[in-house]
Amino acid sequence: QVQLVDSGGGLVQPGGSLRLSCAASGFTLDYYAIGWFRQAPGKEREGVSCISRSDGSTYYADSVKGRFTISRDNAKNTVYLQMASLKPEDAAVYSCAAGLACSGYVPWGVSVWGKGTLVTVSS
């Protein structure tokens, strides 16, 4: 079964850190561009970051640049999103997605979605 399993969300205080994981099963991640999206309550889903399939180039939304780092471990068939200096406005459900390429920080041609993991930033 082809699927992405995203995990690692939780409750963190402002200024804290979390690492999200996006693990693939049924297919090989390194053939895809992988992106992270987030959706906060009452807001539209927005792209956060993308890592290309070709050379591992990384792209970030301005709102997270310098605080979030996307990386991939092809041996583990997993992509990570390391989040630091978290702010209350970062709270959302984060989902990963596998696509054909990165269009900036948003993957296009997405064919597989993770179900999402909740990040809560609160003191």
Q: How far apart are the first and last CA of the chain?
A: 39
| pLDDT one-digit tens code per residue, 29-43 | 989 999 999 999 999
State how far the Cα of 104 lies from the Cα of 89, in Å rounded to an integer: 22
Residue 55, Cβ density class (10 Å: 0-12 exposed, 13-18 middle, ≥19 buried): exposed
| pLDDT one-digit tens code per residue, 49-97 | 999 998 899 999 999 999 999 999 989 999 999 999 999 999 999 999 9
